[in-house]
Amino acid sequence: MSEAEEIEMVDISWEQFHKDCRILAKKLIEVGTFKKMVAVTRGGLFPAGIIARELEIRDIDTICIASYDEYAHGSLVQIKPSVIEGDGEGVLIVDDLVDSGKTLEFIRKKYPKAHYATVYAKEKGLRFVDTYVSMMNCWVLFPWEGVMQPAKPLISGRK
């Protein structure tokens, strides 16, 4: 039996998150205008509200993607019908973080012309995001998550 690995963790405050969302909004202004914003639930709801205000976007919707088994990272399924029309042209898709990139890859296959923005990005998922603020190759604890208390222990080497 192996010991639990130390996981580097960054605790993001509300103040820092808001600041980073405003930086992302400024980057998105340089990209162009968007006719619609779609937040990837659940994490994308938080930056979408801030970015929509900064970009004066009022047409905001959600796309709900889930895996069958979050712990085993099973197949992804769309659990709410999308309101995105066509190939996604003119649509801004927002999430808090791109990790492995599987969620954004899934969405990108359906809407290849949408613009994908995340506040934070991990190297593994970087190729699926068009605009982001900071690289975070660690565990990110968002302000809405409170204290890290995973339902299952994060232990490597166990089967």
DSSP the chain: -PPPPP--EEE--HHHHHHHHHHHHHHHHHH---SEEEEEETTTHHHHHHHHHHHT---EEEEEEEES-TTTT--EEE-S-----TT-TTEEEEEEEESSSHHHHHHHHH-TTSEEEEEEE-GGGGGG-SEEEEE--SEEE-GGG-S---SS---SS--
Active-site pick, 59, 69, 87, 99:
99
Specify the pLDDT at position 9: 86
Mean pLDDT, residues 61-80: 72
What is the percent of the chain with per-residue pLDDT over 90, rounded to a whole number? 62
99 flagged as catalytic: yes
To the nearest whole number, what is the mean pLDDT of the chain? 85
Residue 145 confidence (pLDDT):
86
Residue of 20, 69, 96, 130 with catalytic role: 96
Was domain 9-143 assigned CATH 3.40.50.2020?
A: yes
Least confident of 6-10, 47-51, 75-79, 153-157: 153-157
In this predicted model, what pLDDT tens digit does every residue of 98-133 receive, in sequence order?
999 999 999 999 999 999 999 999 999 999 999 999
Confirm whether 96 is a catalytic residue.
yes
> Catalytic one among 59, 61, 95, 130?
95
- Based on the residue annotation, tell me whether 95 is a catalytic residue of this protein: yes
